[in-house]
Amino acid sequence: LESSKEKIAVVGVGPVGSLLSLALAKRGYSVEAFERRPDMRKVAIGAGRSINLAVSFRGLHALKEVGLEAQVLEKAIAMRGRLMHAISGELTYQPYGLDDSDCIYSSSRSELNKILMTKAEATGNVRIHFDHKVEDVPEFAHVIGTDGSASAMRRAMHVPSQEDELDYGYKELEIPAGPGGAFLMEKHALHIWPRGTFMLIALPNFEGSFTCTLFLPKHGCLSFDQLTGPSEVEAFFKKNFPDALALMPDLTAQFFANPLGHMPKLKCYPWNQGGKVLLMGDAAHAIVPFFGQGMNCGFEDVSYFMRMLETAPDWETLFTEFGKVRKPNADAIADMALENFLEMRDRVADPKFLLEKEVEKLLQKEFPGKYYSRYALVTFSRIPYREALLRGQANDRILATLCEGITSANDVDLKKAKALLLNAPSLSAH
């Protein structure tokens, strides 16, 4: 579509809205963007949601398309695997890929957002109106709603939606840096304390601290409801996360000062109203955070949108086709993110699961280009999420067959593996 004189309105200048504004501006469009909050480059904004987040291949690809990959990576920390902490303090490491290049990057959410806003404004084609809460679809020819999971645009469009919330909450807690900015745990890993129905995770920050997130049911016998005072919190951590507790000198003060976060899940459709309004990012598909893909998926939305813009005959076709292409993939990552919750909090401590992961690693090594783990497809490729989901289901069947009756990955029958892989569906080129 030609970059006509009509301005495009972007509602919500979070990570996805700021990336979209920048991408449109670079393509010659004029953007008027509206953001409910004040300018975070001038005013310190409360922690809100997740201080840091994991950026992976899909997100990095979208950043590369606007020339920002290197700048974002400058202050990101590579996480090359999961480091599991047992109650005993024993550590188990699971690399994400076959070598160190397969990693995800812990980045500051606000830094990322600030870079994107600054670059967008620097094009001269984007005007961001801060402290501007939009309540109804603004009077522009084309409006893109990137206003997050509680999207006012979505409500104004009366889109049929399925909205609910995980009955878990989360609380962020900091492990401060050591003397001289030293990392007090392994720097290049995503730390997990899996404890069955709940878990703690930690991601490294550039300046040496870690941001931990406690995921726990909101109600019930082991829940946030029970952690009513400092002694309960202290006892809970002492029992379940003693090594983390030792690194958190002011745990209880933090615990009661920081808000309890909620995790909305949202599926809706259609995402557009003719060629007038379109939803993107969390406004169209909010998912639970356990695959580290929410923002990556939103960034991929922007990539797809910009590519489709090149050839679309008109705005209505563009908006409609965008929803058709992205919806099955957004649904797929939503389902995989929920499954990954069970994997992270529970299965990573299960010997059967660990054996399957070992066998999986072996298959990746023995059959390069033939076997890909679902994790790798989601995190280190741009294969559509839906395809990754289907391939993952095929993998599960292969792994279950190969692990039958063995206790060590060394005993896996490679001939049988080869035969099973021959029948696996092939992947589309991406």
Ligand X SMILES: Cc1cc2nc3c(=O)[nH]c(=O)nc-3n(C[C@H](O)[C@H](O)[C@H](O)COP(=O)(O)OP(=O)(O)OC[C@H]3O[C@@H](n4cnc5c(N)ncnc54)[C@H](O)[C@@H]3O)c2cc1C
Summarize as ranges the residues that interact with ligand X (CB under 6 A): 11-17, 34-37, 49-50, 53-54, 133-134, 146-148, 152, 170, 213, 261, 263, 281-283, 289, 292-296, 298
Kindly give, in sequence order, each residue whose CB lies less than 8 Å from that of residue 30, ignoring residues fewer than 6 positions away: 5, 7, 8, 125, 126
Closer by beta carbon to ligand X, 135 or else 310: 135
Closer by beta carbon to ligand X, 48 or else 242: 48
Q: At closest approach, how far in Å is the CB of 425 from ligand X?
A: 27
Q: At closest approach, how far in Å is the CB of 128 from ligand X?
A: 10
Closer by beta carbon to ligand X, 73 or else 354: 73
Closer by beta carbon to ligand X, 293 or else 395: 293
Closer by beta carbon to ligand X, 281 or else 363: 281
> Which single residue is written with the structure tokens 């129905």?
197
Q: At closest approach, how far in Å is the CB of 39 from ligand X?
A: 11
Q: At closest approach, how far in Å is the CB of 319 from ligand X?
A: 17
Q: At closest approach, how far in Å is the CB of 397 from ligand X?
A: 29
Q: At closest approach, how far in Å is the CB of 219 from ligand X?
A: 19
Q: At closest approach, how far in Å is the CB of 405 from ligand X?
A: 38
Closer by beta carbon to ligand X, 208 or else 289: 289
Q: At closest approach, how far in Å is the CB of 361 from ligand X?
A: 23
370-379: long-range pairs with CB below 8 Å, 24+:
370/421, 370/424, 371/395, 371/421, 371/424, 372/427, 374/336, 375/96, 376/96, 376/97, 376/102, 377/427, 378/291, 378/293, 378/333, 378/336, 379/56, 379/57, 379/96, 379/102, 379/104, 379/291, 379/292, 379/293
Closer by beta carbon to ligand X, 371 or else 385: 385
Closer by beta carbon to ligand X, 53 or else 277: 53
Residue nearest to ligand X according to CB distances in the complex: 14
Closer by beta carbon to ligand X, 277 or else 295: 295
Q: At closest approach, how far in Å is the CB of 151 from ligand X?
A: 7
Q: At closest approach, how far in Å is the CB of 95 from ligand X?
A: 18
In DSSP terms, 107 is beta-bridged to: 53
Closer by beta carbon to ligand X, 168 or else 315: 168
Rounded distance, CA 364 to CA 323, Å? 34
36, 132 contact by CB (below 8 A): yes
